[in-house]
Amino acid sequence: AAHAILPTVSPSPRPLSERTYLSNGGGVTWSIPTGFEGNWAGEGEWNITIDVMRDLGLAFAAACLGIYVLLVYETKSYLMPLILMISIPLTIIGIMPGFWLLNALTAETVGSWQTPVFFTATAMIGMIALSGIAVRNAILLIDFVHKATGAGQSLKEALLASGAVRLRPIFLTAGTAMLAAWPITLDPIFSGLAWALIFGLFVSTVFTLVVIPVVYYMAYGRRTT
């Protein structure tokens, strides 16, 4: 009967002084003895990470498609959902620089090892969740615009008033979500999700109040004049 030895190895680089005699060869050539066979098993951590990110990227695309279909059904328009969904890429503007800034300010060294906060699979899950939250903020703005124009206001006046009137509820909902995510930043696994929510919510909320009204006026301003 054949016997198997399953060693556990780390892909992290280590100085030669910390390696074993077998791993560095002891200064002499080493090969697998006769009668033994060596095979690599498993996919490796990096390959697994690539597969997970690919699957989550597909999930993000599916979520965006689902949001678009739902908005088309509700608004009876193909253009309006695209305007509302501009708020989704605004979250990415906050997430990616946010992780860079976080590591630039808080990265520590334990021994000789860096301890950065990576954009992990949980951070990607947070980005997917943000797509719905960001669109909700845009809906609050445009819903006010529709009600104001229906009451007789001009489109430009309604767009200017939307930011002022909806500012408080949008900031309150975004702020409570960010505060709720704050304790999760202490978790070693789900901290990426929390930081993605915090950075994405902060930046997308600020930009949504400006970008969405401007794009809406560019799309519908001429139709109302």
pLDDT digits (tens, 9 = 90+) for 69-85: 999 999 999 999 999 99
Q: How far apart are CA 174 and CA 136, in angstroms?
A: 11
List own/partner pairs for 170-177 with CB under 8 A and 24 or more apart.
Answer: 170/137, 170/140, 170/141, 170/205, 170/208, 170/209, 171/205, 173/136, 173/137, 174/133, 174/137, 174/201, 174/202, 174/205, 177/133, 177/201
pTM, whole model, 2 decimals?
Answer: 0.72
Q: CA-CA distance, 127 to 195, in Å (whole number)?
A: 10
110 beta partners: 113
Q: Which H helix or E strand runs over 123?
A: helix 121-150
Range 194-202 average pLDDT: 92
Check residue 16 and give its pLDDT.
Answer: 47
Q: What domains lie within the chain, and their CATH numbers?
A: 47-224 (1.20.1640.10)
Going 32 to 36 to 37 to 41, the CA torsion angle's sign is negative
Beta strands in the chain (DSSP E): 109-110, 113-114
- Whole-number mean pLDDT of the chain? 82
